[in-house]
Amino acid sequence: MLTFPFKKAKAIFIPFIMAGYPSLEASYKAILALTEANADIIELGVPFSDPIADGPVNLHAAEVALKNGVNLDKVFALVSKVRAKNITIPIVLFTYYNPVLAYGEDNFIRQAKKHGIDGVLIVDLPPEEGKEFYSKLRKNALGFVLLVAPTTAKKRFALYKSLRPSFLYYISRLAVTGAQQSLSTTLRKELQELKRCFPKTNCVVGFGISTPLQAKEVAKYADGIVVGSKLVQTLAGEGEACFKQLALSFTASLN
């Protein structure tokens, strides 16, 4: 079961990579590098043909991964390969619901457990539509993460709480994923209000964090930082060594 690293006094680092981009072998080496860089949880993207929440970088990554023939079975095999190295870092699958539906919910849960997945974040499955599936995940000792946006109505929070997610992922801005030059000026206030509404649930922040300086700032009021597009871009464009160095710089910024 995915649990938040409660013993950490600082904000945790959650890097995102796309499985199969630029190749499955590169993804495998990237996970090893992130483990060595002391990441706390890894978000592993499942490529999908219509990723509505993703910006240009992750959209391109998904397209390349799909051309490489990456599907859920290959994602599961990738995680198994990682687990065979006795690497225990929590891995959360970042996916859209369509691949899960096509695979079959029950089969997906069985294979996720078998191959060492700790939790799931389904981008386009809100609590109202997914409560039965989320309950299945919990019954099978698989964690899940729920997205919260600045526009999420507070009247929905009771349902969020009843589902008992592993943690909440707050979308820092109303846009697709991708690096941004600056953070929202209202982000601190929004996070403080969210934590007031969810005093017993940890909240991480993602969408747009691209520099260690931004991560350090957000870490003052968030429980964790998610960094995606910048890492994805660096892995494909500059290689494993630069990717690992960037990950280390984010880890250092949160210490």
- In degrees, rounded to 5, the angle at the alpha carbon of residue 170 between the alpha carbons of residues 214 and 33 is 60
Distances (CA, A) of 69 to 54, 63, 114, 123, 223: 20, 10, 22, 22, 36
Verdict on whether the full-model pTM lies above 0.75: yes
With residue 67 as reference, give the H or E element that holds it: helix 56-67
Give me the catalytic one of 40, 54, 118, 223.
Answer: 54
pLDDT tens by residue, the chain, 255 residues? 787 765 567 899 999 999 999 999 999 999 999 999 999 999 999 999 988 877 899 999 999 999 999 999 999 999 999 999 999 999 999 999 999 999 999 999 999 999 999 999 999 999 999 999 999 999 999 999 999 999 999 999 999 999 999 999 999 866 555 445 667 789 999 999 999 999 999 999 998 899 999 999 999 999 999 999 999 999 999 999 999 999 999 999 998
Give catalytic status of residue 124 as yes or no: no
Residue 83, token pair as written in the block: 């687990």
- The rounded distance, in Å, linking the Cα atoms of 31 and 18 is 11
CATH assignment of 11-254, given 3.40.47.10, 1.20.1740.10, 3.30.365.10, 3.20.20.70? 3.20.20.70
Give me the catalytic one of 43, 106, 129, 217.
Answer: 43
> DSSP letters of 25-63?
HHHHHHHHHHHHTT-S-EEEEPP-S--TT--HHHHHHHH
Give catalytic status of residue 105 as yes or no: no
